[in-house]
Amino acid sequence: MVPSILATAFGVMVVVGLFTPFAGIMAAAVEVWIAFSHPGYRWPQIGVAALCLSLVMIGPGAWSIDARLFGRKQIDLSEL
């Protein structure tokens, strides 16, 4: 019960883009916790955890709450 509530809460935070790095890491941790604490088919939870970690590495989008709060971060490749 508690892991699914936590997964839902962190998943909503990732979707709306609120504290994306923290929420993504926590969502991935909860999904791994669910995968290894419940017997059965684990691959869907491991896949969701991998997606959460990839979103952590990509960062929040242009229309996220993080972009409104902290500003949009862009990488200019022409200066490299």
- The rounded mean pLDDT for the chain is 88
Nearest CA to 25 among 61, 64, 51?
Answer: 51
Q: Alpha-carbon distance 55 to 42, whole Å?
A: 20
Domain ranges of the chain: 2-79
Percentage, residues of the chain above pLDDT 90: 44
**pLDDT tens digits, one per residue of 54-74:** 988 888 888 888 888 887 777
What is the value of pTM for the model shown? 0.81
Q: Contact 42/36 with Cβ under 8 angstroms? A: yes
Is residue 21's pLDDT more than 80?
yes
